């Protein structure tokens, strides 16, 4: 089957690598012929919001998916009328707007931080009066990896934040004093079969995922997270991989956001689960039986941001697998990652600390 992927970043590249053994072939739409997906598939060069290039991609394939979220939903509805488009456009459209996300969570009874829509300085001040400080002001659209948001800690921050972000529709959210951050990843096939990966615990730095460990074992929390994903699968008539990111506050899950695609916190599944999130995404959108999500031991994943550590030194660490995306170095750019999988949690944590020391020494 020929599959089109909108976006040829590292996620698209890893989808293709997982899909080739299943007999899939891949075509990408991307602005750059040097994107990681160009290493493993044909590239249609163009912008994600170019209807002609989107149509060109659709003509070359039998099924379309994506590795980016910043594609206008109205254009995708036109493409979805020509070819199967999965995950569905309505899920992507919801994930593109933080207000729509929060409204969805509320409608399903999924706990979130308190929030207030902001379209004016007066509404920002009203929201702060209702939520209090500290709070987080975010753009409703296009913010990721810490972009498009500011923490307001005192009244003097209000004007500064408005001057920086006030030209976009905004949402104000309660600042959560969380104990940790976790995420749940699951997959649903076109036939309705569902599988769930164990929770991962995630640590961020400068708004970007720094490292994660899995499985994070808490049976009650796992069951709750799976029930939330099941509701979203049903709501969207979903097919593909879906992720929910959570804060853990007083031992309870508080939903932060969804990602209707394969997710950075699931990279550990490549070596650390019976079936990776990337393979299960391809299986799901093709309507194939889904693979086992059982973890193989204890895993960790570390992002390589801005520069790559020496290959030889990383591979000397027990259980380490090195992934170089083939990108040119740039500050705050995800250039690769390393997974660690061991049979013992203590060995994993020891290897993880060695890797983190190596990464920090080079930063």
Task: For residue 168, give the CATH number of its domain.
Answer: 3.30.1490.20
Give the pLDDT confidence score for residue 142 in this predicted structure. Answer: 75
Q: Is the pLDDT of residue 160 over 60?
A: yes
Put simply, whether the predicted model's pTM sits higher than 0.85 gets the answer: yes
Give the pLDDT confidence score for residue 206 in this predicted structure. Answer: 86
96 is a domain residue = no
94 is a domain residue = no
In the chain, the percentage of residues whose pLDDT exceeds 70 is: 98
235 and 294 assigned to the same domain: yes
92 is a domain residue = no
pLDDT in tens, 256-278: 999 999 999 999 999 999 999 99
Split into its structural domains, the chain has a count of 3
98 is a domain residue = no
Nearest alpha-carbon partner for 145 in 66, 245, 39: 245
168 and 188 assigned to the same domain: no
Give the pLDDT confidence score for residue 316 in this predicted structure. Answer: 97
Give the pLDDT confidence score for residue 166 in this predicted structure. Answer: 86
pLDDT in tens, 319-350: 999 999 999 999 999 999 999 999 999 999 99
253 and 321 assigned to the same domain: yes
pLDDT in tens, 112-123: 999 999 999 999
Confidence of residue 70 (pLDDT cuts 50, 70, 90): confident
Any idea which of 61-65, 73-77, 292-296, 345-349 has the lowest mean pLDDT? 73-77
Confidence of residue 361 (pLDDT cuts 50, 70, 90): confident
Confidence of residue 184 (pLDDT cuts 50, 70, 90): very high
145 and 79 assigned to the same domain: no
307 and 217 assigned to the same domain: yes
Q: Is the pLDDT of residue 71 over 80?
A: yes
Host domain of residue 12:
2-85
Averaged pLDDT of the chain: 95
18 and 133 assigned to the same domain: no
Any idea which of 112-116, 164-168, 190-194, 219-223 has the lowest mean pLDDT? 164-168
164 and 194 assigned to the same domain: no
């Amino acid at each position: 089957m020929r599959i089109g992927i909108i976006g040829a970043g590292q996620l698209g590249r890893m989808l293709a690598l997982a899909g080739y053994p299943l007999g899939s072939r891949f075509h990408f739409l991307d602005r750059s012929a040097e994107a990681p997906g160009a290493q493993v598939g044909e590239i249609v060069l163009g912008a994600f919001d170019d209807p002609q290039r989107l149509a060109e991609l659709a003509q070359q394939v039998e099924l379309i998916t994506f590795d980016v979220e910043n594609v206008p939903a109205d254009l995708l509805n036109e493409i979805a009328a020509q070819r199967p488009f999965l995950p569905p456009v309505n899920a992507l459209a919801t994930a593109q707007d933080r207000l729509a996300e929060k409204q969805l969570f509320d409608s399903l009874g999924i706990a979130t931080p308190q929030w207030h829509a902001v379209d004016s300085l007066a509404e920002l001040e009203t929201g702060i009066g209702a939520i209090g400080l500290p709070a987080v002001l975010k753009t409703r659209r296009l913010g990721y990896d810490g972009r498009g948001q500011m923490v307001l800690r005192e009244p003097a921050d209000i004007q500064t934040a408005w001057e920086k972000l006030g030209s976009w529709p905004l949402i104000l959210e309660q600042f959560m004093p969380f104990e940790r951050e976790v995420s749940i990843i699951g997959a649903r096939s076109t036939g309705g079969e569902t599988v769930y990966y164990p929770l991962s615990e995630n640590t961020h730095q400068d708004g970007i995922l720094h490292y994660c460990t899995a499985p994070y074992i808490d049976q009650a929390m796992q069951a709750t997270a799976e029930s939330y994903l099941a509701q979203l699968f049903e709501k969207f008539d979903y097919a593909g991989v879906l992720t929910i990111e959570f804060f853990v506050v007083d031992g309870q899950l508080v939903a932060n956001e969804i990602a209707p695609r394969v997710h950075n916190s699931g990279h550990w599944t490549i070596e650390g689960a019976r079936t990776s999130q990337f393979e299960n995404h391809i299986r799901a959108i093709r309507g194939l039986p889904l693979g086992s999500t059982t973890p193989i031991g204890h895993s960790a994943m570390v992002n390589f941001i801005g520069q790559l550590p020496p290959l030889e030194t990383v591979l000397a660490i027990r259980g380490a697998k090195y992934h170089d995306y083939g990108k040119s170095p740039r500050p705050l750019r995800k250039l690769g990652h390393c997974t660690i999988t061991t049979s013992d949690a203590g060995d994993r944590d020891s290897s993880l600390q060695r890797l983190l020391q190596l990464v920090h020494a080079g930063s």
